[in-house]
Amino acid sequence: MNILGLSVNKNAQKLVDRAIEDKENLCVQIEKGPLGCTIIDAGVKARGGYAAGKLVTEICLGGYGTASTISMQYDQLTLPSIFVETDFPAIATLGSQFAGWKIEASNYFAMGSGPARALPKKPKEIYEQIQYEDHHDTAVIVLEAESYPTEEAVKTISDECKISPRNLYAVVAPTSSVVGSIQISGRIVETGIHRLSQVGLDPKLITHGCGYAPIPPIHPKAALAMGRTNDALYYGGVTFYTVNLESDNQLRDIVSKAPSSCASAYGKPFYEILKEAKFDFYQIDPNIFAPAVIVANNARTGTTIRSGKIDAKALKFMMGITET
d(CA 122, CA 314): 34
Provide the β-strand partners of residue 30.
40
CB 133 within 8 A of CB 91: no
| Residue 134, burial from CB neighbour count under 10 angstroms (0-12, 13-18, 19+) | buried
Ordered per-residue pLDDT tens for the chain, 324 residues = 676 789 999 999 999 999 999 999 999 999 999 999 999 999 999 999 999 999 999 999 999 999 999 999 998 899 999 999 999 999 999 999 999 999 999 889 999 999 999 999 999 999 999 999 999 999 999 999 999 999 999 999 999 999 999 999 999 999 999 999 999 999 999 999 999 999 999 999 999 999 999 999 999 999 999 999 999 999 999 999 999 999 999 999 999 999 999 999 999 999 999 899 888 777 888 899 999 999 999 999 999 999 999 999 999 999 999 988
Q: Give Cβ neighbours of residue 201 (< 8 Å, ≥ 6 apart).
A: 243, 245, 251, 254
Q: Which amino acid is present at 99?
A: A
CA 53, CA 40: separation in Å to the nearest integer?
Answer: 12
Nearest to 84 by CA among 265, 204, 233: 233
Q: Which helix (H) or strand (E) holds 191?
A: helix 188-198
The closest alpha carbon to 33, from 115, 153, 137, 113, belongs to: 153
Report whether 74 contacts 42 (CB < 8 A): no
Report pTM. 0.96
